[in-house]
Amino acid sequence: MPSSVSILDCTLRDGASAIAQPCRQPFGPDETFAIARALDRAGFRFIEVGPGLGLGASRTPTASAPTSDEDCLRAAVAAAETARVGAFFIPGIGTVEDLERAADLGLGFVRIGVNAGDIGLAAPFCALAHRLGLRTSINLIKSYALSVDGFADVSAAAEQFGADTVCVVDSASGMLPDEVRAYVEAARNRLQTANVGFRGHDHLQLAVANTLAAVEAGASVVDACLHGAGQRGGHAASEVLVKLLDRLGYTHGIDADQTLDLADQVADGEVVASAAPAAFAPLDLQAHRAPEHGRMNLACGADQTVDEALAKVRRLAAQTGKATLFCLTRAAHGGLLEPRFPPVRELDNLIVGTAEYPTLEIAEDVVAVVDGQVDRIAVDASSGIDDLDHLVGCVQRSAPVSYSNEDATMCATAKLIVELAELRGAERVALVGFSPRWAGLVWTLAERNLDVTVVGGQVTGLPARHRSADELEAVDLVVGCSAHRDRVTGDLARRVRREGALVDAGPGALSESAFEAADELDLPIYSVDRGAGLDSELSLAIDTHELASDILGTRFEAVPVAPISLFDQPGQPGHPGDLVVDHVGSPIYTLGVADGDGGLYADANEALERVERALLARRFFGGTEERDSN
């Protein structure tokens, strides 16, 4: 009995059609990336992707393939940091070219499916897979069609063909645990070095029981899907299997709580590309090369139109009851001909869509489509004051707000650099493509005792030294701040010490030569997750907008109120007698009664008591609030 078991998660293959709700498309590249990243972070070492019928199925007219093999694999491979990404392959549906192309895209394993009595069909493809460097499993479909002894003979033949794993497959879900145990034991006893796997279905609700029987009999690789999703009866549930294997004392390296949370998110249709839980992630060099003109970089999401992006925003808002917002920001790559629409993000209280526009004229076209269809339109101030003023003026029906994508990126970059300094022992940091707007980054790094050098930018009054690219000495981290200014070159990448790294803080901030140098020197490249910083920046922008709209004349329980956020300003907040609260829109507690001169009256009055009673009632007993304006 093996003490260690690998769960091969098939959610992105078997689960796609079953989990997709009527109003949602099956998993596309955005969701594939998000789910694969979350599975990888939870500890799954094998992730299977693609249509149910395997590589090449997207060409067949009857296949339910939500996206092309190439797009699906690119997304999953880019998302997985340690897990192997694999695919199913049926000879006759998939071709030699399909397998070769998948290997070029980063496929880590392939599972060749043949009927148990047709083992010879697997031989040439198993040999090809080994030449391509792929870990190979032969899945013996309808294993029960053979006797136990016959199955053992076929398993031995599969191993001779080069299979690393021979998989018992209960295709019709008619096997009982004792039968599963007998087939697994027979295969295990005949195999020399190959592993035994098991793939069950749940028509009779025996998938988990059969999988546990297989493990007890010696199977070391077993199939499962989040929430047990899959066509017809489904499969063993990954989150259930992880817990049970824990109880039985098997090791698997998977976090049970993360898996349970992810299963709930996927089943509820809540997973979008923004759901990847990492604060930062090493880049896949091939997937993150500088994009061709007019093509979407994988890090930004799948190609889509403004209508498709808007539809996703409205659909998620309808499902969650959250407010909607659409962001406009100028594209980093000057050669872009069409707008890009990165994945829709779900915040605590918002559903957020984004358009990256190459010209003001295209931005106007986007505004014309989304204006009035979302609650707010946010314009990126870091795109330039001319863009900001012009686009805010174009918004007629939605509420316009401004935010700074550059400030959001700066905050996320600071977090990443600080974490890398702790993880990798970095002390010297070089910033390339720096602008004065990023001064806060320098101060943050200096507070952490990091030695900061700005390459080619202005450092007046900042705790950093200035060097030209030629003058830069060896450093631990080279950070590309923006594609709008100087980019990290191959020469700069070569100034990084052996244990150092490159940091990509903005799409296009690293040149092609920098990627090539990193590849040559085996330097890791970390991509800043701008999403977390952007979430905070958008929330702040909206809160500020609401504050500006609500501050004058706001009343709660017929008493004028003012926010605590302005309390440190002399003469503020409000007028003598106003209540100072934590939030004018949704107050939770009161601080006191303003004296109109930046202080509070010493004694609470009747108004304070009335408001506090109302807040307590609302918090604990479902009481209502009365809000009006003068």
At residue 182, the pLDDT reads 97
Cβ pair 90, 53 in contact under 8 A: yes
Average confidence (pLDDT) over 377-397: 88
Look up residue 364 and give its amino acid.
Answer: E
Average confidence (pLDDT) over 379-386: 83
State the CATH class of domain 298-403: alpha beta
Residues 181-227: tens digit of each pLDDT: 999 999 999 999 999 999 999 888 899 999 999 999 999 999 999 98
Percent of the chain with pLDDT over 70: 73
Highest-confidence range of 37-41, 266-270, 556-560, by mean pLDDT? 37-41
Percent of the chain with pLDDT over 90: 37
In this structure, which topology does domain 7-277 adopt according to CATH?
TIM Barrel (3.20.20)
* CATH among 3.40.50.720, 3.90.550.10, 3.40.50.300, 3.30.428.10 for 407-532: 3.40.50.720
Compute CA distances 438 → 334, 385, 404, 511, 551, whole Å.
21, 17, 12, 21, 31
Give the confidence band of 159 by pLDDT, cuts at 50, 70, 90.
Answer: very high
10 Å CB burial of residue 163 (0-12, 13-18, 19+) is: buried
Cβ pair 119, 162 in contact under 8 A: no
At residue 135, the pLDDT reads 94
**Model confidence, pTM:** 0.47
Rounded to whole angstroms, the Cα distance separating 526 from 279 reads: 10
- Cβ partners under 8 Å of residue 238, min gap 6: 7, 9, 11, 44, 224, 225, 226, 227, 259, 263
Average confidence (pLDDT) over 299-311: 67
At residue 422, the pLDDT reads 85
Average confidence (pLDDT) over 50-68: 67
Give the confidence band of 546 by pLDDT, cuts at 50, 70, 90.
Answer: low
Q: Say whether pLDDT at 548 is over 60.
A: no
**Angle made by CA atoms 48, 50, 56, in degrees to the nearest 5:** 125
Q: Which strands make up the sheet holding 475-480, listed edge to edge?
A: 280-282, 525-528, 496-504, 475-480, 428-432, 451-455, 465-467
Cβ pair 92, 57 in contact under 8 A: no
Tell me the domain boundaries of the chain. 7-277, 298-403, 407-532, 551-629
At residue 596, the pLDDT reads 62
| Cis, peptide link before residue 573, omega less than 30° from 0 | yes
Cβ pair 376, 353 in contact under 8 A: no
Question: Is residue 188 classed as helix, strand or coil in its secondary structure?
Answer: helix
Q: Say whether pLDDT at 387 is over 80.
A: yes
Compute CA distances 608 → 43, 444, 561, 600, whole Å.
53, 40, 10, 12
At residue 605, the pLDDT reads 55
Rounded to whole angstroms, the Cα distance separating 412 from 378 reads: 19
Produce one character per residue of 109-132: b if its CB has 16 or more CB atoms within 10 Å, e if not.
Answer: bbbbbbbbeebebbbebbebbeee
Q: Greater confidence, 275 or 385?
A: 385
At residue 114, the pLDDT reads 95
At residue 286, the pLDDT reads 31
Cβ atoms < 10 Å from Cβ of 54? 25
Rounded to whole angstroms, the Cα distance separating 15 from 230 reads: 4
Residues 451-491: tens digit of each pLDDT: 999 998 777 788 998 899 889 999 999 999 876 678 899 99
Within this chain, domains 298-403 and 407-532 share the same CATH topology:
yes
Average confidence (pLDDT) over 21-34: 60
Q: Which of 287, 299, 8 is nearest to 137 (CA)?
A: 8
- Cβ partners under 8 Å of residue 57, min gap 6: 50, 51, 63, 65, 69, 93, 94
Task: Lowest mean pLDDT of 29-38, 271-280, 340-349, name the range.
Answer: 271-280
